[in-house]
Amino acid sequence: KINVSFGIELGMQSHLSRKLAAYSKNHDFDFIIASSHLCNRKDPYLKEFFEGRPEKEGYHEYFQYISECIRSFQNFDVYGHLDYVLRYGPTRNENFSFGEYKEDIDKILTLLIDNGKGIEVNSSGFSYGLGAPHPCREILLRYKELGGEILTIGSDAHSPERIAADFDKVSDLLTTCGFTHYCVFKNRMPEYYRI
């Protein structure tokens, strides 16, 4: 026997906040994950997002936009793959330094914690060749340092064989970061389980 829950991932865009609010209120979801696949109506997946500017500028814009989205809409439980943009940057995470983006990321994490929201630890970063989940170790450590406790674990599986892929790596990483529990949501409430 397994429990089947009813959840959704909402692609956050600040100009859609009213539509997202109406949609999310009209269904009895167990779990709502918010995420940013677009940034100011531009897609980091496309090379045009980074064209004509330094990679750092694109990363800063993306992280700052997440804060804007959180301020405009809060009917969700966790924010997914916070550093998703690293999948598609010109050098991906090769030149990523947490210190360069600490101010932007601290704003995101503080907004989430202050509003009782959590973060998703998404194992797909391993399958994309980043050598880390989304978000990376430094962001996870900072979330813990700021008092964050609500974590869910996802694999972003787009095919059956990717379900729960690399969860062993994620659990090891979370333990070394000082986390002892992860969450599963039921009726929009977190249930805590030991890692």
The pLDDT of residue 107 is 98
Q: Identify whether the C-beta of residue 137 lies closer than 8 Å to the C-beta of residue 106.
A: no
According to DSSP, residue 49 is labeled G
The pLDDT of residue 158 is 87
The pLDDT of residue 194 is 97
Mean pLDDT in residue range 17-38: 96
pLDDT band (50, 70, 90) for residue 124: very high
Rounded (5°) CA angle 104-83-58:
65
